Each structure stands twice: as C-alpha cells, then as structure tokens.
C-alpha cells in the first residue's frame, strides 16, 4: 500500500488536477494506492470567512460563497467532458446549497461555534475529493471514495482535534482489509468525534490524515505532493538561495516543521516515524525532481545544520522576582496556569540565577496568558515577591535545526555573532539538551534579515552578498559604480563576494531595487524610475529595508549626508565615506561615530579622507594596533596644491593653473577649500585624531598664502580675484628661488599646523610630482627614517578605488 497526499496548491484548478491525475495513473501501476486530498487551494479560508461574515450579520457572505461555488463548477467543467459533467455539477450544487443553509442559520442566529466552523470547512475537502474521484472514474480508473470522518475518530476539540488512535487504527485497518479496490480517494483534514459531529485536525491537517492512514496500514511509503521540490534549507519565500534537502531524519523534519517550515504539518511525522515509513516530499509540478525523503537515519549530512525556520507572532512572557529564588514550584504553577487555558508553550528559558522565567507563546493567546498568570500569582505579586508578568509582542522565533549540531562546537557562537553583526537583537535564547535546535527570539521586523544572515553563514559557502547603498553618483560615485561593475566577476570568483547595489541617489533623485540595480543602466534607471531625493527618506528606507550585510557609501561632500551616519551605525549598517565632513567636524561627533561603530559592530571606514586611496589611515591604524606610537607627522596632503605649485612658474597665471586642477577633478567641488588650506587642515586633523589625539580645527595654525580678498564671493569671483592678484603669486614663486613651494601639514608634540614652505632638494618632500601626496610618519619605531607613503593623492578614479577598497573591507568582517 502507498499513500499519496496532494495539497491545496496541487488541486487548485483543473490544470493542476490533471497533473495530479497523471501522477496517480503512474503510481497505481506499482501498488495499491490511497490518495488523500486537501480542499482546492484557498477554499478553507473562504469558507471560514463566509461563516465569520454570516455570524457578523454581514450579507456579503453570500457573494463569497458564490465565488467558492463558481470555482468548483468551473473546475468541473474544465476537468470533465461535457457528457459526463451533469452528475458532478449537481453534486457540487447540492453540497454548496448545504453550506449556504448552514450559513443562513449562522446569519440568523448570529452565532458561530467552533463545532459549526468545523462543519463548514469540512465541505472544502469533501468537494475536492468527490470531484477528483469523479474525474478518475470518467477516465475509467476505478476509484473508491472513502468517507474519512467515518474512519478517523477524534475528541471534540474542534479546530484541532486529537485523534483516538486505538479506534482509528482499527477502523482504518478493517475498512481497507475489507475492500478489494486498488485506488481510494479520501478527503484530508476532516474527522469526526464520538457523537458523529465533524471535527478537523488543524490547519494544514491533510498531511496528518495521510500519515494516520499510512501508519495504520503500515504503508510502504507516504508521499506528500506539493508545489516545491522538497523540504528546503529555509522558507523559499524568505530566502532566495535555498537548497533542497535530499534526506532528513524524522526528528529534524519535526523540529523544522514545528519551527515554521510550512511544507509539512508538524503532527504528520509522529505516526510515520513510529512505523518507520519513509515519507517523501515531492513536487506535483516537477514530478521528475527527486524531492526529500524523511526517514530514520539522516546519513551523508556533511552540514552541521539541516535547515533554518521561523515562527512569527510570538509573545514573550517574563516572570521575574527575588521571591522565586530557590523556592520550588514556581515554574510548575506557571505552566499549570497556561495549561489550564490550553496555551501552548513554544519556548522556555530560565536563567540559572532562578530570578526569572521566560516563555514564548503564540501572540494570539498573550492576553489570556497575562490574566491567567497574574491571577495564579496574585498573592506573590501583592506581597512583591514577584513582579506582574511582562508581556512583549511583535516577536518571532528563528531556529537552527540539525541532528549534527551536537558534535559541532561553536555553532551558537557563529549564529549569535552573525546576528549581532547585522544588528539583530536577540531577546531570548533556547537550546534543547538534544542540541538539535537552537532558537532565538527576535523582533518580527528582523526575521527576514536574520534568516538570510544565518542561511548565508551556514549554507551559502558559494558567496556572501553585500547590500550597498551609494549616496552621490557624480564624479567619484560614477567611477565607483563603474569599478563595481567591472570587478563583479573577480569578486565573485576570488573573494566570494557579491555586491548588490540596492540603492543609489544623487542630489535630485533616488532609486531602490531590492534585487540589485542593473549597473549597466543605472543612469537611465535613476532618471526614469528614480523618486525625488530626500536624504531623510533615503536613510529611513535603508533602515526599514533592514537588509543583511548593508553598507552605506557616502561619495558626496555634503554636510547633510555626513550628519546621517549616526542613524545608520546605530542599526549596525557600515558606513564608508570619502566625505570628510563627519571626521573633521567637532571631535565629539567624530568620537561618537567611532564609538557607535564599535558598539553596534558596524564598520566606519574613511581611508579616502586623506590621500585618496593611498593606504595612509590603514597604515596608521596598523602601526597603533601593533603597539607603535605616532610622534610626528609631516605631509603634503593636497593633490590640488601640489599640482598647482608643481605647475606654476609665473608663465601661465596662477588662476589658470587652479582652473586646470579643477578641470582634472583634483579639487574639492569648491576649490577655495583647497586653496585656503582648509582641506589640508581637515586632513592633518583626521590623522592626528586617528593617532589618538583630541584636536579641533581651531587648534590648527594655518599660515595661508592666499590674499584674503580672493576668498570672498562666488567661485567665479575667486578666479577673477586671483587674476587680479597675480603679482602676489609671482612674488611667492620668486621668493622660493631654487627651492620648491610645498603646502606642508605637520603634527608635532601635540600641535598641528599647515602652511606654504620652501623645500630644498635634500628634503624628503622635495621630489613630489603632479598631484601626488606624501606622508612621513615618525614613530617610536621609525625614529630616524620615517615611514613614507607616497603616490597619487587626488583624482576621481583613485578616490573611487579607495572607497571601493573600504567597501570590500567592510564586507569581509
Ligand atoms: P500544500 O498546499 O501542498 O499543503 P503548503 O502551502 O502547505 O502546501 O506548503 C508548501 C509551501 O511551504 C511551499 O510553497 C513553501 O513556500 C513553503 N515552505 C516554507 N518553509 C519551507 C521549507 N523549509 N521547505 C519547503 N517549503 C517551505
Ligand atoms: N484545507 C485545510 C487547510 O487549508 C487542510 C489542508 O490543506 O491540509 O488548512
Ligand atoms: Mg500543507
């Protein structure tokens, strides 16, 4: 004997039912077969809605009912040839009339009991099983319809009745022993109590019907046919790169389904496990796929984790109080109070201090639970031995499941480390002593992220996905996007990193795409599909998307963007900035951001703040981490000023050379920031801060060479005024003589200064060409000869590559 169960999606319409018929035809060749079916997909819900509407006195229940009737009639017409339709159509009509009669009763009485609900929903399975049996018979495949409620006997706990296995097993065994048929059709989900009233086995209960029958008959095999090709490593609706689990033990399947893997109804496993019946999950729409087999031993499991699941709508109850310590019986009373109200406890934790007990329950039962517990402990609450129960809602449980966890230390470390790095706060933890399951209670809004983070960590050895948001797609940002596009394959192959740019904005528009923006077309996409830019909305969107491994890249020079880092770091979103404003603002803000990055496990990287992509800040950090101390810094940190003084010889005007630097993309958007030395001040301050000093802009001496008159008005005024002061610049050049003019930044004995200097040919700073930068670090270990870092220090390409480098760094922690 073999038992096949087809779920609601497999029998949702005529097209799908034909697929079912094809599978059944193949199967009956090999063995006697029992087919268990669900109601047509969605019908159970519709019937429940009808009864609810009727009970509320809302007449629209009639329309809903009509909708359900029409679906069945249409299916019959599409499924069965015209000449053979009439008997089936009239059966559908009769059954639907019965439903309507019951609903009229509910409507008139305005009363709906759980018992009546079970009666109403039972029609769903009756209709589907009758129609499919009729279809088989019209195809000359003899099929005996079996009235499940006559065989499956339960208690009267309507909605989720408990099976009386002694009676049920016997009835099933007797029935099938007496029948000579080769193919049977049974409605799933429905049963009856000792009075003969309809009961149901809980939502999704058709799986259970099939398992009960399979176990009672010691069937060779149970096959659960559904719309996916097996049990998967996580819910495919939440995670994209899920894998099918080829084999899984009964225990693991039970844990996974209990923790929300909807593909199989949890009680299903118990009966088949008792009899050791192999149970397959197969795909009606891809029958050739292997599927998953659930059986005694899970062999060949190289992975310590078998799957990841989640249950939403959890409430956490915490009972706390000093009066609980060392006194036995508190937990007994707590669980008794819950049991009396038939409240199912999903998760329990108690700290070893015995000061608190925490239980996870279905959120729908939270208020009943609160009352019951507060009543049960009324005396202790009054005498302040325990606090009134605390109830928290909007929570979910995320669970790792696997038989092999017990032989693998470090799994919970990995689990919580990864959740923590992604800003998922864990409210409670439970690990059974079987070590088959580690559960964490998290906020509902973090579930999708948590599952994806864990799935990536435990299953996707292929690559890690980074969700990148880029603010500013101008000169540097545009280059950054081009570099990401160009490096995509390399990163995937060599670093196993996949960078998805999921958000982009410039000063006018912003664009989001969860499945990654097509970087070949980002310009037109931003233009055509982009929404009006609003920085606060952009940040809120990043937060609410709550994607794992999120990185925000600030490729602007904008103050408002810089003021948003705090909001991001607090959500464990890494920030990479070439924008210098944050790090060169008040020390307090800089320090706050550094602290937030540490506290929330997010990276805050800004290598390009000094010397574009030259490894200056990284080297400085490495020196400090190695125990060295920075004593003196001497540097030329302005690509613009170095370019200008390298090219200015009094022939072309000073203003012309500055214009050229701007055209080459070396200057800040406002070139006066470079010419005034302010940009260099910011850079030396950032280096000094990174070296561990508390320093502000006001503490830095600036020996500016610019006539103050040049620095007022617009950028155009600035160029004009420089032309007018050409004599001043000529004089500077003349005074230098054999020496070179370099705008030098230094930090020595706790003091920073910037200014124009005459550098002779013996000096370390002399041979510095084009727009290059140079930094000399004198440290405890580099005493006589400094550590020198030198190279291109400005330009969109190198800056973009520095930002890119930081993004990779932020991704690889
Ligand atoms: P049926 O109608 O056949 O009973 P269900 O809707 O009850 O089917 O269950 C199948 C669905 O379960 C799949 O379509 C899938 O979206 C969902 N599902 C949730 N978790 C998992 C998982 N771990 N593996 C496979 N499917 C899962
Ligand atoms: N039709 C029932 C439900 O929707 C049972 C099932 O499909 O397994 O819950
Ligand atoms: Mg199901």
Q: How far is the CA of 94 from the CAs of 90, 106, 206, in angstroms?
A: 6, 19, 24
Residue nearest to atom 4 of ligand 1 (CA): 7
Report residues near ion ligand 3: CB below 5 Å: 7, 204
Q: For position 613, what pLDDT does the model report?
A: 92
What is the 203 CA–ligand 2 centroid distance (Å)? 5
Q: For position 331, what pLDDT does the model report?
A: 83
Residue nearest to atom 5 of ligand 2 (CA): 204
Q: For position 299, what pLDDT does the model report?
A: 61
Average pLDDT over residues 4-26: 97
The set of residues, in sequence order, having a beta carbon less than 8 Å from that of 244 and lying 6+ positions away, is 229, 230, 231, 232, 233, 289, 290, 291, 292
Give which of 745, 743, 620 is closest to 681, Cα–Cα: 745
Asked if the model's pLDDT at residue 242 lies above 70, the reply is: yes
CA dist., res. 184 & res. 559, Å (int): 73
Q: For position 162, what pLDDT does the model report?
A: 97
Q: For position 434, what pLDDT does the model report?
A: 65
**Per-residue three-class SS string for 548-604:** CCEEEEECCCCHHHHCCHHHHHCCCCEEEECCCCCCCCCHHHHHHHHHHHHHCCCCE
The number of the ligand 1 atom at minimal distance from the alpha carbon of 309 is 23
Q: Is 267 in the pocket of ligand 2 (CB under 6 A)?
A: no
Ligand number nearest to the C-alpha of 8: 1
What is the 122 CA–ligand 1 centroid distance (Å)? 22
Q: Is 38 in the pocket of ligand 2 (CB under 6 A)?
A: yes
Q: Is 203 in the pocket of ligand 2 (CB under 6 A)?
A: yes
Q: Is 41 in the pocket of ligand 2 (CB under 6 A)?
A: no
Residue 494 DSSP label: I
**Per-residue three-class SS string for 419-476:** HHHCCCCEEEEEECCCCCEEEEEEEHHHHHHHHHHHHHHHCCCCCEEEEEEEECCCHH
> What is the sign, positive or negative, of the torsion defined by CA atoms of 658, 663, 665, 670?
positive
Share of the chain above pLDDT 90, in %: 84
Instruction: Label residues 673-692 b or e (16+ Cβ within 10 Å = b).
Output: bbbbbbbbbbbbbbbbbbbe
Residue 302 pLDDT level (bands cut at 50, 70, 90): low
Give the pLDDT confidence of 774-794 residue by residue, as tens digits. Answer: 999 999 999 999 999 999 888
Give the pLDDT confidence of 537-550 residue by residue, as tens digits. Answer: 999 999 999 998 99
What is the 184 CA–ligand 3 centroid distance (Å)? 20
Instruction: Label residues 645-661 b or e (16+ Cβ within 10 Å = b).
Output: bbbbeeeebbbbbbbeb
Asked if the model's pLDDT at residue 732 lies above 60, the reply is: yes
Q: Is 390 helix (H, G, I), strand (E, B) or coil?
A: strand
What is the 263 CA–ligand 3 centroid distance (Å)? 6
CA dist., res. 448 & res. 236, Å (int): 11
Predicted TM-score (pTM) of the model is 0.76
CA dist., res. 17 & res. 285, Å (int): 10
Vertex 367 angle, CA 364 and 373, to 5°:
125
Q: For position 346, what pLDDT does the model report?
A: 87
Q: Is 684 in the pocket of ligand 1 (CB under 6 A)?
A: no
CA dist., res. 491 & res. 480, Å (int): 15
Longest CA span, the chain:
116
The helix or strand, by DSSP H or E, that contains position 478, with its residue range, turns out to be: helix 475-490
Q: Is 205 in the pocket of ligand 1 (CB under 6 A)?
A: no
For the annotated catalytic residues, the residue numbers are 683
Q: For position 352, what pLDDT does the model report?
A: 62
Q: Is 44 in the pocket of ligand 2 (CB under 6 A)?
A: yes
Pocket test for ligand 2, best of 12, 38, 159, 208 (most atoms within 8 A of CB): 38
The helix or strand, by DSSP H or E, that contains position 498, with its residue range, turns out to be: strand 497-505
Asked if the model's pLDDT at residue 37 lies above 80, the reply is: yes
The number of the ligand 1 atom at minimal distance from the alpha carbon of 232 is 24
**Per-residue three-class SS string for 535-562:** HHHHHHHHHHHCCCCEEEEECCCCHHHH
Give the pLDDT confidence of 137-149 residue by residue, as tens digits. Answer: 999 999 999 999 9
Burial class of residue 624, CB neighbours in 10 A (0-12, 13-18, 19+): middle
Helices and strands counted in the chain (H then E)? 29, 29
CA dist., res. 661 & res. 670, Å (int): 12
Burial class of residue 40, CB neighbours in 10 A (0-12, 13-18, 19+): buried
């Amino acid at each position: 004997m073999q038992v096949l169960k087809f779920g609601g999606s497999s029998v949702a319409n005529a097209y799908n039912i034909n697929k079912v018929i094809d599978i059944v035809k193949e199967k009956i060749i090999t063995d006697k077969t029992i087919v268990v079916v669900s109601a047509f997909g969605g019908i159970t819900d519709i019937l429940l809605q009808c009864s609810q509407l009727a009970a509320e006195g809302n007449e629209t229940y009639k329309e809903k009912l009509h909708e359900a009737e029409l679906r069945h009639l249409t299916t019959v017409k599409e499924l069965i040839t015209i000449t053979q339709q009439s008997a089936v159509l009239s059966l559908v009509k009769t059954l639907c009339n019965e439903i309507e009669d019951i609903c009229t009763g509910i409507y008139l009485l305005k009363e709906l009991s759980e018992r009546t609900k079970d009666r109403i929903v039972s029609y769903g399975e009756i209709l589907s099983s009758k129609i499919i049996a009729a279809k088989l018979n019209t195809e000359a495949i003899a099929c005996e319809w079996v009235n499940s409620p006559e065989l499956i006997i339960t208690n009267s706990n309507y909605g989720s009745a408990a099976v009386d296995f002694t009676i049920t097993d016997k009835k099933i065994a007797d029935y099938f022993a007496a029948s000579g048929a080769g193919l049977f059709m049974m409605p799933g989900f429905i049963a009856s109590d000792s009075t003969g009233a309809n009961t149901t086995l809980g939502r999704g209960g058709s799986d259970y019907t099939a398992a009960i029958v399979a176990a009672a008959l010691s069937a060779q095999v149970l096959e659960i046919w559904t719309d996916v090709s097996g049990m998967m490593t996580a819910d495919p609706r939440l995670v994209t790169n899920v894998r099918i689990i080829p084999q899984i033990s009964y225990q693991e399947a039970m844990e996974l389904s209990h923790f929300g893997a909807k593909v199989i109804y949890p009680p299903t496993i118990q009966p088949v496990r008792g009899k050791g019946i192999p149970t397959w999950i197969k795909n009606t729409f891809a029958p050739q796929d292997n599927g998953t087999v659930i059986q005694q031993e899970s062999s060949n499991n190289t992975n310590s984790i078998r799957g990841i699941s989640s249950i939403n709508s959890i409430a956490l109850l915490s009972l706390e109080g000093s009066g609980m310590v060392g006194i036995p019986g508190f937990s007994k009373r707590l669980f008794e109070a819950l049991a009396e109200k038939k409240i199912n406890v999903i998760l329990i934790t108690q700290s070893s201090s015995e000061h608190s007990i925490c239980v996870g329950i279905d959120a729908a039962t939270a208020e009943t639970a609160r009352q019951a517990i507060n009543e049960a402990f009324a005396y202790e609450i009054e005498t302040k031995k325990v606090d009134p129960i605390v109830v928290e809602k909007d929570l979910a449980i995320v669970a790792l499941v696997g038989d092999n966890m017990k032989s693998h230390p470090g799994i919970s470390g990995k689990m919580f480390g990864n959740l923590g790095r992604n800003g998922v706060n864990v409210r409670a933890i439970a690990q059974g002593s079987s070590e088959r399951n580690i559960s964490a209670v998290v906020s509902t809004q973090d579930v999708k992220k948590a599952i994806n983070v864990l799935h990536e960590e435990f299953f996707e050895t292929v690559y890690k996905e980074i969700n990148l948001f880029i603010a500013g797609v101008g000169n540097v940002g545009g280059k950054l996007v081009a570099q990401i596009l160009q490096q995509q394959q390399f990163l995937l192959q060599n670093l196993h990193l996949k960078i998805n740019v999921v958000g982009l904005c410039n000063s006018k528009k912003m664009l989001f795409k969860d499945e990654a923006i097509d970087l070949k077309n980002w310009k037109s996409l931003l233009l055509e599909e982009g929404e009006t830019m609003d920085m606060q909305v952009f940040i809120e969107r990043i937060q609410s998307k709550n994607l794992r491994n999120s990185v925000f890249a600030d490729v602007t020079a904008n103050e408002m963007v810089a003021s948003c880092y705090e909001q991001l770091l607090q959500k464990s979103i890494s920030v990479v900035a070439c924008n210098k404003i944050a790090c060169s603002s008040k020390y307090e803000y800089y320090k706050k951001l550094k602290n937030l990055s540490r506290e929330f496990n997010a990276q805050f990287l800004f290598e390009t703040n000094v010397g574009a992509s030259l490894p200056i800040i990284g080297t400085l950090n490495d020196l400090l981490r190695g125990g060295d101390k920075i004593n003196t810094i001497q540097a030329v940190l302005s690509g613009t000023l170095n370019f200008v003084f390298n090219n200015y010889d009094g022939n072309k005007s000073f203003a012309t050379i500055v214009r050229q630097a701007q055209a080459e993309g070396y200057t800040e958007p406002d070139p006066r920031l470079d010419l005034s030395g302010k940009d260099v001040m910011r850079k030396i301050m950032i280096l000094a801060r990174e070296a561990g000093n508390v320093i502000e802009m006001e503490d830095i001496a600036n020996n500016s060479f610019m006539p103050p008159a040049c620095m007022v008005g617009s950028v155009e005024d600035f160029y004009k005024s420089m032309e007018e002061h050409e004599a001043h610049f000529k004089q500077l050049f003349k005074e230098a003589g054999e020496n070179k003019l370099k705008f030098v930044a230094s930090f020595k004995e706790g003091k920073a200064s910037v200014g124009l200097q005459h550098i002779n040919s013996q000096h370390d700073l002399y041979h510095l060409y084009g727009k290059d930068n140079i930094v000399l670090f004198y440290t405890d270990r580099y005493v006589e000869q400094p550590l020198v870092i030198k190279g291109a220090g400005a330009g969109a390409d190198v800056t973009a590559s520095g930002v890119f480098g930081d993004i990779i760094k932020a991704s690889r922690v």
